[in-house]
């Protein structure tokens, strides 16, 4: 069994990205710039955002956090996004989710111009992804594919089962894997027998946020197991995932830990997406 060490791979990619960015600085060009919008003070979001800002600064990306109270007027948030869309010094705009419950998140995600949609959530970028065109891809799905490729795990012709079909991870990842010639099965909350779909899979990717939904009896020997979930165990208070790691690792050929697997890959992919947008902007 080999651990898919997302933390190690993300560190390697971080150094490579910092070098690429520094080459532009040496030519006298501006730094890439990422703006993060945060509404309210969700505790988990506070942690995620501070880490994103930290990594951005480490690779040489200018980052700015715009904080708004829960009671911000909806039109004011729209206007701020539109203002950022028009600012030529900004390469990427990230709207940190969740928004307060009375906001329709999708409306604000779609308000971000596709040219600065660093999360790859705009319907234009999603449509390009669906049809296999080059675009900005959602960070977690692309981070997972990059992690598999870093370990030379072939995707082409593999049977892959996804558990969880969110717009952020499951759906886009399924399309991206299809475009790489995998055979993809997607399970959702209404799937009657998940084991029936996982037991023969070469690669299993679980993104439900349900603790230990994937157990050792659900995978075949030498399967590759990717755990996107992150949950705090109510008994041990430790961070765990969708996968019963200690038991599943005994059967898997490759497996991601929680934490230290998919999470770091998501963050570095966000930075790489910002750089892709930056290169497009400065080339104009």
Annotated binding site for NADP(+): 164-166, 230
Give residue 130's Cα distance to chain centre: 17
Structure tokens at 279: 């290169």
DSSP state of 98: P
Partnered with residue 93 across adjacent β-strands are: 35, 117
Give catalytic status of residue 76 as yes or no.
no
Q: Look at strands 231-232 and 239-240 and give their pairing.
A: antiparallel
Cβ count near 68 (within 10 Å): 16
User: Within a 13 Å sphere around the CA of 237, how many CA atoms are in the beta-carbon half?
Assistant: 0
Give catalytic status of residue 119 as yes or no.
yes
Spot the catalytic one: 14, 31, 33, 52.
52
Spot the catalytic one: 91, 117, 119, 227.
119
Rounded to whole angstroms, the Cα distance separating 245 from 256 reads 9
DSSP assignments along 157-168, one per residue: T-EEEEE---TT
Rounded to whole angstroms, the Cα distance separating 273 from 125 reads 12
Spot the catalytic one: 33, 96, 117, 171.
96
Output the CA torsion sign for 185, 218, 148, 45. positive
Alpha helices by DSSP H, listed for 87-153, are 105-111, 123-130, 139-150
* 187 sits in which H/E element: strand 183-187
Tell me the catalytic residues.
52, 96, 119
């Amino acid at each position: 069994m080999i651990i898919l060490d997302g933390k190690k791979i993300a560190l390697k990619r971080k150094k490579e990205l910092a070098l690429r960015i520094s080459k532009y600085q040496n030519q006298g060009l501006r730094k890439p710039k990422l703006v993060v919008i945060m509404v309210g003070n969700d505790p988990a979001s506070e942690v995620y955002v501070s880490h994103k800002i930290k990594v951005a600064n480490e690779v040489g990306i200018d980052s700015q956090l715009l904080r708004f109270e829960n009671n911000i007027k909806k039109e004011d948030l729209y206007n701020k996004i539109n203002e950022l869309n028009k600012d030529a010094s900004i390469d990427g705009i990230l709207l940190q989710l969740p928004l307060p419950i009375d906001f329709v998140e999708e409306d604000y995600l779609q308000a971000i111009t596709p040219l600065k949609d660093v999360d790859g959530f705009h319907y234009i970028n999603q449509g390009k992804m669906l049809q296999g065109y080059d675009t900005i891809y959602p960070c977690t799905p692309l981070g997972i594919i990059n992690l598999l490729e870093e370990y030379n795990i072939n995707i082409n012709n593999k049977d892959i089962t996804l558990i969880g079909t969110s717009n952020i991870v499951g759906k886009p990842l399924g399309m991206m894997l299809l475009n790489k010639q995998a055979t993809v099965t997607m399970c959702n909350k209404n799937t009657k027998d998940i084991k029936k779909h996982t037991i023969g899979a070469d690669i299993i990717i679980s993104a439900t946020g349900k603790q230990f939904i994937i157990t050792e009896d659900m995978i075949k020997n030498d399967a590759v197991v990717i755990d996107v979930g992150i949950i705090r165990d109510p008994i041990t208070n430790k961070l765990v995932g969708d996968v019963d790691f200690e038991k599943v690792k005994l059967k898997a050929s490759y497996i991601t830990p929680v934490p230290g697997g998919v999470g770091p890959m998501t963050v570095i992919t966000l930075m790489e997406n910002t750089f892709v947008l930056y290169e497009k902007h400065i080339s104009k």
